[in-house]
Amino acid sequence: MQFELTEEQKMMQKMVREFAAKEVAPGSAARDEEEKFDRSLYDALGELGVTGICFPEQYGGAGADTLSYILAIEELSRVDSGLGIALSASVSLGGWPIYAYGSEEQKKKYLAPLAEGRTLGAFGLTEPNAGTDAAAQQTVAVLQGDHYVLNGSKIFITNGGEAETYVILAMTDKAKGARGISAFILEKGMPGFTFGKKEHKLGIRSSQTMELVFQDVAVPAANLLGKEGDGFKIAMTTLDGGRIGVAAQALGIAQAALDHAAKYAKERVQFGKPIAANQAVAFTLADMATQIDAARLLTYRAAYCKDKGLPYSKEAAMAKLYASDAAMAIAVDAVQVYGGYGYSREYPVERLMRDAKITQIYEGTNQVQRMVISAAILR
């Protein structure tokens, strides 16, 4: 067993950490306050090649591994988990299905610009009446000659409105249920493709979440991803990968919460000594650190399995389940360590607490993760 990052992974981690500390951290509280997604930061990630870490060079990527990419999400999420999820949504949810299921033409046209960070990607599965029950899709696509006509809407779409490239799930054959779902690549600006309301969220407010509306959108048949009926499989496998990204995001939030809490506990003096000198506080920090390490091992293991071509659906679900629960608990504890200051928006930990919550919900609630895990072990 190897528990150490490779030299290359360490260098990649250091590089993103430095960028995050100097360029991302300074404005992250303000972006949260203003609910503002800063596209220029994402563009900078593209210029550095972070958006293409795990895609092959022929499609504009760097040809590195998933773990390096996961490290990047973790590092970004330590200072701005909204940017962390924007990256994950673009790469894992927007880019990856095109990489895994797309034709050569689709990869050249859509994946390469995504990998180079020139475009932003998004993924549309969830609908008002089709959350966990993905087969209840009401968005429909009807083949008319050389194109499909899409009608319907998607909600809670990360990068919605900002993204140029969307992987959208729609029903092509309602009679077949889940097997009647197909995946399409849509471009921002296609006639009839508009955006609904911008979601005002509890946390990750520096990422943009929007409703997508399709009204007789003519999508060229060449933009069908895979075959008709492949949609459900594409969606489920895409989410498997996305969950590693969410786990990494949770890990970043948790690590930031611990870092802040530990620093504060050493500086804050009460009754003539730093509060860290109290076991009540010190043990809280010890528990935080232990949970983070466990979450980290699960998350890196899931990325490792994906890189090695091993099954990773259950591993990704476990990583996401554990890391997100850990992040939530740790962020709550960090606020507690800060006491009254923790509740104030002048200090960073309340934001981490608000940001952590979503990791237990999206890309499959943690209840869904347990369904995935139990299904795998009871198979």
What's the closest the beta carbon of residue 235 comes to another protein, in angstroms?
28
Of 24, 3, 13, 8, residue with least CA distance to 75: 13
Which one of the spans 59-67, 204-212, 250-258, 323-331 is the region binding another protein (CB under 8 A)? 59-67
Residues 6+ apart with CB under 8 A from 117: 42, 43, 45, 46, 47, 49, 50, 51, 52
4 is a contact residue toward another protein (CB under 8 A): no
Rounded Cα distance between 3 and 10, Å, is 13
| 8 counts as binding another protein under rule CB under 8 A | yes
Query: Of 33, 47, 105, 133, which lies in the binding site for another protein, with binding defined by CB under 8 A?
Result: 47
From candidates 24, 41, 62, 79, binder to another protein by CB under 8 A = 62
Q: Return the residue of 31, 32, 38, 64 that touches another protein, per CB under 8 A.
A: 64
Contacting residue, 25, 29, 48, 213, with another protein by CB under 8 A: 48
The question of whether 18 is a catalytic residue gets the answer: no
Angle at 245 between CA 244 and CA 246, to 5 degrees: 90
Interaction residues for another protein, span 161-190 (CB under 8 A)? none
Dihedral Cα 84, 34, 354, 238, nearest 10 deg: -30
Among residues 86 and 115, whose Cβ is nearest to another protein? 115
53 is a contact residue toward another protein (CB under 8 A): yes
User: Among 298, 358, 301, 303, which residue's Cα sits nearest to residue 322?
Assistant: 298
CA–CA distance, 165 with 86 (Å, rounded to integer): 13
Give the burial class of 258: count Cβ atoms within 10 A of its Cβ; 0-12 exposed, 13-18 middle, 19 or more buried: buried
Query: Catalytic residue among 74, 127, 350, 363, which?
Result: 363
Choose the stretch contacting another protein; rule: CB under 8 A; options: 63-71, 169-177, 305-313, 330-338: 63-71
Q: Per rule CB under 8 A, is residue 19 in the interface with another protein?
A: yes
Q: Which of 38, 49, 85, 248 binds another protein (CB under 8 A)?
A: 49
Classify each residue of 312-326 as buried b or exposed e, where b means 16 or more C-beta atoms within 10 Å of its C-beta: bbbbbbbbbbbbbbb
Restricting to residues 231-290, name those near another protein by CB under 8 A: 267, 269
Smallest gap from residue 62 Cβ to another protein (A): 5
Residue-by-residue DSSP string for 313-324: HHHHHHHHHHHH
Q: Which is nearer to another protein, 53 or 330 (CB)?
A: 53
The closest of 177, 132, 174, 170 to 153, measured between CA atoms, is 170
Q: Taking CB under 8 A as the rule, does residue 50 contact another protein?
A: yes
Binding-site ranges for another protein (CB under 8 A): 7-8, 11-12, 15, 18-19, 47-50, 52-53, 62-64, 68, 267, 269
Residues carrying an active site annotation:
363
